[in-house]
Amino acid sequence: MSTAPEAAAPQRSSSSRLPKNTRGAIQEYALVGVVAVILIAGAIIEPGSFLTSDNMLNVLRQASVVGVIAIGMTFVIATGGIDLSVGSMVAAASVVGGQFADSGSAMFVLGALGMGILLGSVNAGAIAYGKVVPFIATLAMFTMARGLALWISDKQPKSIFDLEFVRWFGNGEVIGIPSAAVVFVAVTIIGWLLLNRTRYGRYVVAVGGNREAARIAGINVPRIVFSVYVLAGLCVGIAAVLLSGRLSSASPIVGNLYELDAIAAVVIGGTSLAGGRATIVGTFLGVITFALIFNLLTLMDLAVEIQQVTKGLIILAAVLIQRRER
Amino acid sequence: MTIKRFMLPLLLVAALFAVACGSDDDESAGDSEQATQATETTGSPAQGGRVKIAFSAPGADHGWMAAITENARKEAKELGDVDLIAAEGVTDSAAQADQVETLIQQKPDALVLLPNEGDALTPVAQKATAQGIPVVVVDRALEAPGASRTFITGDNYGIGWQAGNYFADQLKCKGNVVEIQGIAGIQVTEERSKGFRDALKRRCPDGGIKIIASQPADFVPDKGLSVMENILQAHKDIDAVYTHDDDMAEGVVSAIENAGREDEMFLTGAGGSKAAMERIEKGGLYRATFLYNPTMSASAIRLARLIVRGEGLAELTEPEVPSQITVPATTVTKENVAELKELGF
């Protein structure tokens, strides 16, 4: 039995790997082009403040929270699933960490990660074994986690100004690079290795590509599906630590619409919403693209309506360019 | 100015309404309505029995809304003779309308309503009014003037106006100001923004105070943080920051402190949260906030009780509760924070 998946899985992926990888690579290069265009345009429009090392590090730091979530989301979407609850879960995880704030930074981190994993497991159980559609299961968690966040916190933000270690994650630096960005890059690298260099990663993509084939090949499909939502929960926990550190407080009203930001970054990066095709590098570039757009539009102090239209146009253009190059 | 322009027609409408009611050939019409209503419900509230008040507000998505519901509950309890049926937790207007329908079924003496959206909740408020249940609307205006008995609200324009005056004083009409707005395109944001600009224009007509950046951050701290971080990158010389909300301001404060620029500027909030008041008391970056007081729901419970009993406000000459009350946007600074702190939420 144990040899069956090993024998079958490579066979399956060998038929889909080549087109998948070339496609992914082209899409990634296309996004590099988009990022380059934004950088050049920004340098011309805002010569004094945009393309400075200070501001670029600022963009990286801002991208880190949604970025870490988007890496987890990539695995979920790779299986053909979706997680709408990540934004609310960030709030719940922050708030639970905040409950342990008096016991020090380590307890805060454990609390936040634990809550992220716990809520992720609830999603995972409902979807993998309860056979609830991911959209609905995570929509339920979307409201539930927000409610829990408000309930546990008594609707009040909790100051964690004294937790030096947690705040370091948000505002500290490692040889001049924001620690939040270091965490984001580290999570990206681990995610890349997991997806591209392990059997687990192949199984995740296989489950998203053709569930029935994966099952016949001997992959424990429910277990793979379960794992990706737990992984998403873990990423949410990490993001909650970064965000709380940046805010110096654990607030129940943060994380609004992060799910959309994360999903958009994953999809613009080239991961297929239908599952079966995933790229971590693409997700990373997708997150950076959105962070750069937000940063540049704010620097320009454009009216919000113009910002929204511009942002929409850039997203559309980016996706169209990718489609063409394929 | 806008307030006056806004108030005059309202007062006229109110006056007309009063005249129309009063001159209605027989005053017994009103009385009999009151009487039938009293017989329908248990006890007779007009004679000092218990008053049954239904309360509906949207789900508490942040501290202010939480305080609204809490204050209403607390006031009902403290009054002693009020039975409160409170319904909360809905997040959209249609669900709230259904909720209010259910509340009306229980035949309350009065309904206190904070509508999620004024126009969407107008029909159901009209229905309650038609059934003889006086409706006290809190915070957000209904679409049709006849749909409610009384409207009690805060002063969003006043928040901007007070803030503008405060900035003019503090900056002596000279400096670079950043405005962090709430949700773009809603009335609260527009009024808080317009009041601020109007006051600055009037106090500093030579334009010495420049609004160098004005961006929405949706009333949430994480967006406030990111938006302010970007603005700090763009502007190296900022004298003051006007934010539309205390919760959101927490994130703006973090951005400024993380950048180590808290000595360069000062900041004000709006709303009157406990956390903001503590910061103001401590001094430093957070210099002031402007009340948008959630105690208005407690006042609404009191008003509903008076209306049911047919009483007016003691200090007013008129025998009835006014049809509109605006709670002022008090400026809270280090000087008066001690006495106002208990109003914080």
Contacts of B225 in chain A (CB under 8 A): 246-247
Residue B105 pLDDT greater than 60, yes or no: yes
Closest of B88, B89, B131 to residue B109, by C-alpha: B131
Q: What sections of A100-173 are H helices per DSSP?
A: 105-128, 134-153, 164-171
- Give the residue on B whose Cα is nearest the Cα of A301: B213
- Of the pLDDT bands very low, low, confident and very high (cuts 50, 70, 90), residue B89 is confident
Sorted by sequence, the CB contacts under 8 Å of residue B106 that are 6+ apart come out as: B52, B54, B85
Which chain A residues contact residue B251 at CB under 8 A?
247
For residue B143, the model assigns a pLDDT of 85
Beta bridge partners of B215: B180
Closest residue of chain A to B183, computed from CA coordinates: A304
What's the CA gap between A115 and A240, in Å, rounded? 10
> Mean pLDDT throughout B34-61?
66
How far apart, in whole angstroms, are the C-alpha atoms of residue A235 and residue B338? 43
Residue B40's pLDDT is: 42
- The type of residue at B215 is Q
Note whether A155 contacts B225, CB cutoff 8 Å: no
Q: What is the dihedral of CA A150, A151, A152, A155, to 10 degrees?
A: 40
pLDDT score recorded for residue B97: 93
Per-residue pLDDT of chain A (326 residues; tens, 9 = 90+): 344 444 344 444 444 444 455 555 666 678 898 899 999 999 999 998 999 999 999 999 999 999 999 999 999 999 999 999 999 999 999 999 999 999 999 999 999 999 999 999 999 999 999 999 999 999 999 999 999 999 999 888 899 989 999 999 988 999 999 999 999 999 999 999 999 999 999 999 999 999 999 999 999 999 999 999 999 999 999 999 999 999 999 999 999 999 999 999 999 998 989 999 999 999 999 999 999 999 999 999 998 889 889 888 888 887 787 665 54
Q: Fill in the DSSP letter of residue A101.
A: G
Nearest-angstrom CA–CA distance, B237 and B260: 13
Phi, psi values for residue B334, rounded to 5°: -55, -30
Distances in Å between the Cα of B225 and the Cα atoms of B254, B255, B257 are: 7, 5, 11
CB-side neighbour CA atoms (13 Å) of B31: 4
Q: With contacts defined as CB-CB under 8 Å, which chain B residues touch A62?
A: 226, 229-230
Predicted confidence (pLDDT) per residue in B262-293, tens digit? 999 999 999 999 999 999 999 999 999 999 98
Domain with CATH 3.40.50.2300 in chain B: 2-153+294-327, 156-292+334-343
Fold assignment, B156-292+334-343: Rossmann fold (3.40.50)
pLDDT of B42 > 70? The answer is: no
What part of A 38-97 touches B (C-beta under 8 Å)? Answer: 46, 49, 52, 54-55, 58, 61-62, 65
* CB contact (8 A) between residue A249 and residue B250: yes
Whole-angstrom Cα distance, residue A37 to residue A27? 15
A255 touches chain B (CB under 8 A): yes
Look at residue A319 in the predicted model and tell me its pLDDT.
77
A198 Cβ under 8 Å from any chain B Cβ: no
Q: What is the pLDDT of residue A278?
A: 94
**Token duo for residue A257:** 């619409």
A311–chain B nearest CA distance, Å: 15
The residue of chain B with its CA nearest to that of A245 is B254
Q: Please check whether residue A280 is in contact with residue A26, taking contact to mean a CB–CB distance below 8 angstroms.
A: no
Determine contact, residues A215/A125, Cβ cutoff 8 Å: no
**Structure confidence at residue B45 as a pLDDT band (50, 70, 90):** low
In angstroms, rounded to a whole number, what is the distance separating the alpha carbons of residues A210 and A199?
Answer: 16
pLDDT at site A11: 42
Q: How far from the centroid of its chain's Cα atoms is residue A253's Cα? A: 19
C-alpha distance from A171 to closest chain B C-alpha (Å): 7
Tell me if A251 and B212 make a contact (CB, 8 A cut-off). Answer: no
The mean per-residue pLDDT over the stretch B163-183 comes to 97
CA distance B150 to chain A (A): 29
| Partner residue opposite B234 with nearest CB, options A159, A255, A299 | A299
Q: Return the number of other C-beta atoms located less than 10 Å from residue A233's C-beta.
A: 28
Contact B230/A58, CB-based, under 8 Å?
yes
Which of B202-210's residues contact partners 24+ apart within 8 Å by CB, and which partners? B202/B164, B203/B164, B203/B165, B203/B168, B203/B173, B204/B168, B204/B173, B204/B174, B206/B173, B208/B171, B208/B173, B208/B174, B208/B175, B209/B167, B209/B168, B209/B171, B209/B173, B209/B174, B209/B175, B209/B176, B209/B177, B210/B175, B210/B176, B210/B177
pLDDT at B20: 45
A39: its two tokens: 């950088």
User: How far apart are alpha carbons A280 and A269 in whole angstroms?
Assistant: 8
Minimum Cα–Cα distance from A297: chain B residue? B230
Which pair of structure tokens corresponds to residue A36? 């380059």
Is residue B116 predicted with pLDDT exceeding 60?
yes
Q: pLDDT, tens digit, for every residue of B204-242?
A: 999 999 999 999 999 999 999 999 999 999 999 999 999
pLDDT tier at B47 (50, 70, 90 boundaries)? Answer: low
Q: Please state which of the ranges B60-64, B115-119, B226-230, B339-343 shows the lowest mean pLDDT.
A: B60-64
Measure Cα distances from A169 to A65, A97, A258 in Å.
Answer: 11, 14, 19
Residues in chain A: 326
* Domain A16-325, CATH class in plain words: mainly alpha
Instruction: Judge whether A140 is closer than 8 Å to chain B, CB to CB.
Output: no
What gap in Å lies between CA B265 and CA B253, rounded to an integer? 11
> Is A64:A221 a contact under the CB 8 Å cutoff?
no
Q: CA B73, CA B51: separation in Å to the nearest integer? A: 14
Please list the alpha-helical segments (H only) found in chain B: 2-23, 28-40, 63-79, 93-105, 118-130, 156-171, 187-203, 221-234, 246-258, 274-282, 296-309, 337-340
In chain B, whose CA is at the least distance from the CA of A307? B215
Query: Taking 70 as the threshold, does the pLDDT of residue B24 lie above it?
Result: no
Name the CA dihedral angle for A147, A149, A150, A152, rounded to a multiple of 10 degrees: 110
* A280-299 vs A3-45: helix crossing angle, rounded to 10: 20
Reference B139, options B319, B292, B13; nearest CA is: B292
Q: What residues of B are in the A interface, CB distance below 8 Å? A: 60-63, 66, 184-185, 212-216, 218, 220-223, 225-227, 229-231, 233-234, 247, 250-251, 254, 257-258, 274-275
Average pLDDT over residues B161-165: 97
pLDDT for the residue numbered A315: 80
Q: At residue B300, what is the residue type?
A: A
Between chains, do B258 and A171 touch, taking CB under 8 Å as contact?
Answer: yes
d(CA A5, CA A10): 8
CB B180 within 8 A of CB B224: yes
Asked whether A75 and A247 are in contact (CB, 8 A), the reply is no
A92: tokens are 């719940």
Task: Count each helix (H run) and each strand (E run) in chain B, helices first.
Answer: 12, 12
Find, among A181, A224, A185, the residue nearest to A75 by Cα: A224
The one-letter code for the residue type at B62 is H
Give the distance from residue A23's alpha carbon to the nearest chain B alpha carbon, in angstroms: 34
B233–A170 CB contact, under 8 Å: no
- A298 neighbourhood in chain B, CB within 8 Å: 213, 215, 227, 230-231, 234
Query: Distance between CA atoms of B7 and A93, rounded to whole angstroms?
Result: 46
Question: Residue B271 has what DSSP assignment?
Answer: B
pLDDT band at residue B7 under the 50/70/90 scheme: low
The CATH number of B2-153+294-327, from 3.40.250.10, 3.90.650.10, 3.30.420.40, 3.40.50.2300, is 3.40.50.2300
Structure tokens at B284: 């430093």
Report how far residue A233's alpha carbon sits from residue A287's, in angstroms, rounded to the nearest whole number: 19
Q: Report the range of poorest mean pLDDT among A9-23, A119-133, B129-143, B168-182.
A: A9-23
| B213–A251 C-beta distance less than 8 A | no
State residue A4's pLDDT score: 42
A62, A65, A254: residue with CB nearest B229: A62
**CB–CB contact B221 A254 (8 Å):** yes
The residue behind tokens 């630096």 is: A173
Instruction: Give the pTM.
Output: 0.81
**Counting one residue from A and one from B, how many pairs have CB atoms under 8 Å apart?**
92
Query: Which site among A156, A306, A309 would you substitute to test the B interface, given the most B Cβ atoms closer than 10 Å to its Cβ?
Result: A156
**Nearest-CA distance from A200 to chain B in Å?**
34
Rounded to whole angstroms, the Cα distance separating A155 from A252 reads: 6
Given a contact cutoff of 8 angstroms between Cβ atoms, the answer to whether B337 and B280 are in contact is yes
Which residues of chain B have a CB within 8 Å of the CB of A248?
Answer: 254, 257
CA nearest B225: which of A142, A202, A259, A243? A243
Chain A: closest CA distance from residue B178 (Å): 11
Number of DSSP helices (H) and strands (E) in chain A, helices first: 13, 4
The whole-number pLDDT of residue A83 equals 98
* Single-letter code of the amino acid located at A207: V
